[in-house]
Amino acid sequence: MNFYVIIPAHNEEAFLAQTLQSLVEQTVLPKKIVVVNDNSTDGTQQVLDSFTEKYDFISSVFKSSAAKNTPGKKVIEAFSKGFESLDDAFDVVCKFDADLIFPKHYLESIQQIFEANPHCGMAGGFCYVEKNDSWKLENLTNKDHIRGALKAYRKECFVQINGLRNAMGWDTVDELLAKYHGWEVKTDTYLHVKHLKPTGASYSKASKYKQGEAFYTMRYGFLLTAIASAKLAFRKKSISFFLHSLQGYRKALQQNKEFIVSEEEGKFIRTLRWNAIKKKLFLKS
């Protein structure tokens, strides 16, 4: 399989070299890696240059953008810039963060998942963060969800979902749309990826309402939004997160924010979510 890897990078001088080194040491090498230097003001480009000079399958693209790290929008705009620079001779396209260390067999394992299951449209491992001198699972989502930091898409699935949405919630709606089109999403609990920078560490205070807005634009409806927000708040151990998420939903409703899925897709998403909730309640009863 031909793997194309796109890495958005904004001021990742401290981590990027470790990410790229882990990728050039893969047992199955990617055919192309493009790193999008998203208006970095540190030494990100110097790190990039040291790798592009040594490896002909690594290239870099510079993107001028705002310094503010807005969840969803900034990273997907950078991803899209990188994707535009590539041809379409890929079997799998990956969106990876610039602060990860992959095990050497990572891409080989992802390839095996896709080859073993022709209905699998997306695959990925799990992020681990360092706590008290050991690496712990970054447990922010269910184990059937692939974190936005390490997405891998089969080409046909990527085309059917029409790429990645330029909005907060892109890394949830992509999986929901994949399922809408009949694809399966697979995770491998044995694939441990070191995440060097905690998720959301660089988000601004102005982003605190974005999760609720994302639920609105995915057509969750208020009750599903409340349930999903409560679940995330519990994992984050933050009551304020729950309140901010509901406020974000309300603001999006008042502002009549544009939906990122169609009415039919939204209906499918709500049914899928409610069925999952009912299944969990049934198993607990």
What is the reported pLDDT for 69?
57
Spans of the chain, pLDDT less than 50: 203
pLDDT reported for residue 92: 98
Delimit the domains of the chain by residue range: 3-195, 205-284
User: Tell me, what's the pLDDT at 183?
Assistant: 98
Which CATH code fits 3-195?
3.90.550.10
Which tokens in the block code for residue 20? 């790229």
- Identify whether the C-beta of residue 123 lies closer than 8 Å to the C-beta of residue 155: no
User: What tokens were used for 155?
Assistant: 């080409």
- pTM listed for this prediction: 0.91
Strands (E), the chain: 3-9, 32-38, 58-63, 92-96, 100-101, 120-131, 134-137, 150-154, 184-195
CA distance 10 to 26: 24
The predicted-structure confidence for 179-222, as pLDDT tens digits, reads as follows 999 999 999 999 999 999 876 555 455 577 899 999 999 999 99
Give the pLDDT of residue 279. Answer: 84
| pLDDT in the model for residue 284 | 59
